[in-house]
Structure 1
């Protein structure tokens, strides 16, 4: 779906930064919404969505168990 979103789990990436998680969330929200930059009246909803996706990504990565690691 979003070719510019990189895999953020080990062994592909060992130390995931907050910036990487936020960038992936931003790309996802851009793809789903169809907006690269939302209009001013949609900016708050867009930013909340990025925050929610980033939080869900953090939770997912913290919960994954990678075999052989």
Structure 2
């Protein structure tokens, strides 16, 4: 699934930005919803899902412990 989502943890990606996290969340929601761009009546649900996935991703990356690496903090 979602082969175009890149790994966002060190050492695969040394610096992760909020844009990286948002792009991964957007790609995930597009994949599971089947919509590249939702219809107007689905826009709110689609955007809320992207925000929720991005927040969960940020939390995951901040709490993962990779041997020899500092936790990831998303950069602007």
TM-score by structure 1 length? Answer: 0.97
Which ranges in structure 2 are unaligned for 5 or more consecutive residues? 70-76
Matching residue of 1:38: 38
Which ranges in structure 1 are unaligned for 5 or more consecutive residues? none
Which structure carries more relative contact order (alpha carbon 8 Å, separation 6+)? 2
Report whether the alignment pairs 1:66 with 2:69: no
Matching residue of 1:55: 55
TM-score by structure 2 length? Answer: 0.89
How many residues align? The count is 69
Q: Distance in 2 between matches of 1:48 and 1:68?
A: 35
The Cα offsets for residues 1-41 of structure 1, whole Å up to 9 and x where unpaired, read as: 10110000000111100000000000000000000000000
Structure with more helix by fraction: 1
Q: Distance in 1 between matches of 2:62 and 2:68?
A: 16
